[in-house]
């Protein structure tokens, strides 16, 4: 059966034009860091399948736990009912999140976790009787639903919808040399009494180009928020669950956010689930029996028991000494490789944090997401049986934590060969 042709006939893939692209590879199965295709390829998943996979594909421990749950309770309406996997997960998350977090609100992906946070922040002021409408952002990528697009950078991803997005006050990305100017501008904007919230990806912006900035600058921005009682929202959809080293990037901050958005690695890459954790400060404003002050938001698959079970199993694995050791090992290897290639003639910048390594390739042309370089990078690595999906002229490596040193070295060697091929 020609599965590729059927895919072409029936499927609309994300982030892809309907014409002019190669037919996608058909994955028949996966195990550990490898994807096995119907044409016999064995591909290292060096980007954790859009950054979701922590413990390797088809992880037997997670699969066993989900299978057991499937025969017990697959789903139930989450209004008026609850279940043990969701309660256990909420309790466990609150034990490892920053100490100011008080309650967990479930949704079903990263975009909806952000939507929930935006709505909570705006309704916070509504419930207080002092409605505020302005949101400050740093121009990252926060998702593809309308609220998430509105607080994200205006780009090719959102261009068709510009006139439908609500206004947001964007501050420049803190580059290091101009951080004080950014802080001064931020403080000036916050003087406006209409600022409701500030949303940010802590320390690393993912789809915006794996851009990294200092915790000292972010702490100052959050201190300003605190002094003006502005609700702060940390989008940890990408950075959560060990990606930057600690369990959460916000652990590095001295001032904790009011709302934290989680998804991606939450279930270990098994299925979709979103979480928005809320500080006591936010929760207190909703403590009422007045239905008009309730948060009237939900999803059909809110707190799906299978997804919560997968998350609990993923946490079991994440909180082991072995996983902690693997994260530290990957970080050390990234550091060594970054040092090795930093002086390469074709590298304009290399940076790393935790298990994230980003390499900007020099280019005479466009260096945005539309860069022609992406049409060289992706096929080169696929030909080497490695999945590295570039962001324009940016190569990033963000592997599952179980990747072996030999497998990671194989990825590095392929990067070396690609850079040399550009000379």
- Given a contact cutoff of 8 angstroms between Cβ atoms, the answer to whether 273 and 106 are in contact is yes
pLDDT of residue 372: 78
Does pLDDT of 36 surpass 80?
A: yes
pLDDT band at 22 (very low <50, low <70, confident <90, very high): confident
* Half-sphere exposure of residue 220: CA atoms within 13 angstroms, side-chain side: 14
pLDDT band at 199 (very low <50, low <70, confident <90, very high): very high
pLDDT of residue 177: 85
Cα torsion for 155, 225, 92, 354, to the nearest 10°?
A: 60
Query: Could you state, in order of their start, the residue ranges of all structural domains in the chain?
Result: 30-58+320-421, 73-318
Task: Show the tokens assigned to 213.
Answer: 């900035």
CATH number of 30-58+320-421: 3.90.1150.10
pLDDT of residue 366: 66
Q: How far apart are CA 194 and CA 125, in angstroms?
A: 10
CA 34 vs. chain centroid, Å, equals 22
Q: Which residues contact 292 (CB under 8 A, 6 or more apart)?
A: none
pLDDT band at 367 (very low <50, low <70, confident <90, very high): low
Q: How far apart are CA 303 and CA 106, in angstroms?
A: 5
Burial class (CB in 10 A: 0-12, 13-18, 19+), 84: middle
pLDDT band at 102 (very low <50, low <70, confident <90, very high): very high
pLDDT of residue 375: 86
One DSSP character per residue, 143-183 reads: -SSHHHHHTSPPSTTTGGGGGGSPP-EE-----STTHHHHH
Between helices 84-96 and 305-318, what is the axis angle to 10°?
40
Does pLDDT of 370 surpass 80?
A: no
Does pLDDT of 96 surpass 70?
A: yes
Tell me yes or no: is domain 73-318 CATH 3.40.50.970: no
pLDDT (tens digit, 9 = 90+) per residue, 243-270? 999 999 999 899 999 999 999 999 999 9
Does pLDDT of 423 surpass 90?
A: no
Average pLDDT across the chain, whole number: 96
- Go through the chain and tell me how many residues it has: 423
SS3 276: strand
Consecutive H or E run containing 323: helix 321-341
- Given a contact cutoff of 8 angstroms between Cβ atoms, the answer to whether 385 and 41 are in contact is yes
Instruction: Tell me the percentage of the chain whose pLDDT exceeds 70.
Output: 100
Helices vs strands, H then E, count in the chain: 13, 16
Does pLDDT of 65 surpass 70?
A: yes
Strand-pair partners of 352 = 357
pLDDT (tens digit, 9 = 90+) per residue, 277-324? 999 999 999 999 999 999 999 999 999 999 999 999 999 999 999 999
- Dihedral sign (CA 278, 279, 280, 283): negative
């Amino acid at each position: 059966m020609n599965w590729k042709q059927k895919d072409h006939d029936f499927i609309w893939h994300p982030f892809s034009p309907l014409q002019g692209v190669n037919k996608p590879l058909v994955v028949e199965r996966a195990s550990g860091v490898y994807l096995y295709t119907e044409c016999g390829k064995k591909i290292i998943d060096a980007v954790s399948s859009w950054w979701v996979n922590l413990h390797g594909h088809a992880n037997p421990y997670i699969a066993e736990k989900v299978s057991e749950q499937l025969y017990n309770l697959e789903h139930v309406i989450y209004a008026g009912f609850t279940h043990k996997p969701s309660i256990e997960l909420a309790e466990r998350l609150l034990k490892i999140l920053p100490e100011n977090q008080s309650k967990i609100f479930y949704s079903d992906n990263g975009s909806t976790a952000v939507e929930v946070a935006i709505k909570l922040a705006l309704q916070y002021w509504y419930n207080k009787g002092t409605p505020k409408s302005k949101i400050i952002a740093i121009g990252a990528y926060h998702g593809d639903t309308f609220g998430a697009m509105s607080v994200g950078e205006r780009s090719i991803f959102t261009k068709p919808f510009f006139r439908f997005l609500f206004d947001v006050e964007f501050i420049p990305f803190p580059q290091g040399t101009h951080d004080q100017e950014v802080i001064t501008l931020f403080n000036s904007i916050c003087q406006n009494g209409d600022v409701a919230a500030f949303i940010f990806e802590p320390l690393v912006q993912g789809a915006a180009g794996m851009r990294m900035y200092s915790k000292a600058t972010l702490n100052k921005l959050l201190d300003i928020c605190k002094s003006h009682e502005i609700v702060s929202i940390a989008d940890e959809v990408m950075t959560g669950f060990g990606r930057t080293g600690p369990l959460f990037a916000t652990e590095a901050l001295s001032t904790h956010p009011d709302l934290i958005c989680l998804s991606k690695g939450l279930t270990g890459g098994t299925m979709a689930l979103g979480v928005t954790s809320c500080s006591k400060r936010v929760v207190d404003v909703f403590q009422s029996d007045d239905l008009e002050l309730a948060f009237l938001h939900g999803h059909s698959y809110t707190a799906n028991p299978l997804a919560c079970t997968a998350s609990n199993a993923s946490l079991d694995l994440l909180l082991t000494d072995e996983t902690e050791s693997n994260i530290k090992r990957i970080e050390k290897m990234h550091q060594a490789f970054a040092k090795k290639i930093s002086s390469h003639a074709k590298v304009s910048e290399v940076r790393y944090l935790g298990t994230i390594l980003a390499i900007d390739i020099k280019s005479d042309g466009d260096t945005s997401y539309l860069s022609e370089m992406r049409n060289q990078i992706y096929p080169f690595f696929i030909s080497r049986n490695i999945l590295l999906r570039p962001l324009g002229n940016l190569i990033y490596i963000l592997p599952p934590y179980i990747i072996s040193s030999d497998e990671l070295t194989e990825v590095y060697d392929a990067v070396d060969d690609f850079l040399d091929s550009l000379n």
